[in-house]
Amino acid sequence: MLSTQPTLLANDKNQTARFDTIVVLSHECPFISGQPSAESYLEREMQVLAEHADRVIVFAHEGWFDGWPIKAGLPENVSAFGISDCATIPSESFAGRLKRLGCLAKHLGALWSERRRITSRETLFAATSFLQLGDMKARRMLEVIAEQKIVFSGRVLLYSYWFNEPILAMQSLARRIEKQSGMRPVCISRAHGYDCYDYRSPCGYNAFKRWMAEKLDAVLVCSQNGANYLKERDPEVSGAYRVGRLGTADTQPQDPSRKGDAFSIVCCSRAVSLKRVDRVIDALLVLEERGHRLRFTFIGDGDQLGVLKEKAALLKKTEVDIKGALPNEKVFDYYSSTFTDLFVNASEYEGIPLSIMEALSFGIPVVATNVGGVSEIIHDGVCGKLIDRDFTDEDLADAIEAFVAMDEKKVEAMRAAARRNWEQSYRLKTNAEEMLRLAYALSSASDSKRRDAQGIV
């Protein structure tokens, strides 16, 4: 077993976690695709990473990148590269099939480890596609490193924001760095929702979770619910999984004196079917029938935005503002300038949404479906209300109506509890630095003892 020193390093908030290089594997961050970003946390976390490393190198692995600008305001010691030719799997042409066979031969051991989960043509395709995508990402990333003459030395952290194909690229780079410098880097991944739960995959199978966990020093799951799911799924590697919460930037609670006459409701999410924003509008139609005066704001974009606009046009007594996609900074500006009585999230599936963290940081109570890790952030009856995943329009309308009718003292208590919950668990800087302290403690342990170090936080 390890001595107590790594424990102290991981838990001591005054301990400086400093790296020579942090390599980040993202999907698109810090490139701007023009579509809503699923990496707004990582965009802000980049500032914290840059404070704790001589240099930060980002490899974005999911997109075309040609002509995509890089987000303004990146720290000077952050550089970014887009792995643009990895967005598609080779075709089923003869050459494409040869490439697939070569990739499978290379990863026969990994495939064998998944044999009990590969039970259909669909799951086999998911597994082989995973390996081929990961192989392409790894190959192209190593080519960029060679082209840019990037050399690694000292203390290195390899950090993937997603628990999926980029892990293959991470392992290839880890072997390269260890051969080059004689020191194996620390390898850490986060896990969220779709990259955590099998049921979020179209075929009911998320490929190579156990294999990846075996290769990583730690997997930081954004919720206890997700961590428990992965531990129960693969108990042999349960020690790799721990809770690593995300967070949002600090704000000031909203000023209640700015409350308007109409009860103000906000949804902020992607406009896609699983977010079920259309169901929120259905509940608002019920509330209109009950005689309530409301204001509804939707922030977000997606393939269902047109449908939402059409349905929102049915609201006759409600002031509607469909804003579409807004940069994260503009979302914060909206909350800072516009009083909001209630935030609503009706998702079918979730990890723990950043949008709820943002609402809580402004002291806004939340009504949300009890899915994924949502019950860990919304304490029912304290800072919001949880409803069943399979709610009716009347169920959601009743939950919203309870806040409309709530007395002023109860509202004040709810809003204070919302802000307090955020302060205690969802500060971005605090949670980012906790991850870095863990990584630093792991890098301070010898390679042979790193697995023991997985109990240190």
- Opening angle at CA 24, ends 1 and 231, nearest 5: 45
Peptide bond into 30 cis (omega under 30): yes
Give the pLDDT confidence score for residue 133 in this predicted structure. 87
Burial of 46 (0-12, 13-18, 19+ CB in 10 A): buried
| Listed residue (41, 89, 43) closest to 62, CA to CA | 89
Encoded tokens for 170? 């991470």
What's the pLDDT at 261?
A: 87
Neighbouring-strand partners of residue 320: 296
Contact 339, 262 (CB under 8 A): no
CA separation for the pair 260, 112 (Å, rounded): 61
Which structure tokens are listed for 112? Answer: 């064998």
Q: What pLDDT shows up at residue 132?
A: 87
Which pLDDT value is given to residue 449? 52
- Encoded tokens for 66: 């040609």
* Pairwise CA distance, residues 372 & 351, whole Å: 5
d(CA 358, CA 273): 22
Closest CA to 451 of 239, 210, 234, 235: 239
If residue 294 lies in a helix (H) or strand (E), which one and from where to where?
A: strand 294-299
Q: Give the model confidence (pLDDT) of 97-131 as tens digits.
A: 666 666 677 778 888 888 899 999 999 989 988 99
The answer to whether residues 403 and 264 touch, using CB atoms and an 8 Å cutoff, is: no
Check residue 85 and give its pLDDT. Answer: 53
**How confident is the prediction along the chain (457 residues), in pLDDT tens digits per residue?**
223 333 334 455 556 789 999 999 999 999 987 776 789 899 999 999 999 999 999 999 887 667 788 888 899 999 999 986 544 555 556 566 666 666 677 778 888 888 899 999 999 989 988 998 888 889 999 999 999 999 999 999 999 999 999 999 999 999 999 988 888 999 999 999 999 999 999 999 999 999 999 999 999 999 999 999 999 999 999 999 999 999 999 999 998 888 888 999 999 999 999 999 999 999 999 999 999 999 999 999 989 999 999 999 999 999 999 999 888 889 999 999 999 999 999 999 999 999 999 999 999 999 999 999 999 999 999 999 999 999 999 999 999 999 999 999 999 999 999 999 999 999 999 999 999 999 999 987 745 454 454 444 4
Length of the chain: 457
Q: Do 370 and 386 contact (CB within 8 A), yes or no?
A: yes
Q: What is the model's pLDDT at position 328?
A: 86
Helix (H) or strand (E) holding 418: helix 408-425
Q: Contact 443/10 with Cβ under 8 angstroms?
A: no
Here the tokens at position 72 are 């303004």
Token representation of residue 84: 């643009």
Whether the Cβ atoms of residue 81 and residue 100 lie closer than 8 Å to each other:
no
Placement of tokens 């967070």 in the chain: 247
Q: Say what the pTM is.
A: 0.88
As given in the structure block, the two tokens for residue 11 are: 């838990």
What pLDDT does residue 14 have?
Answer: 56
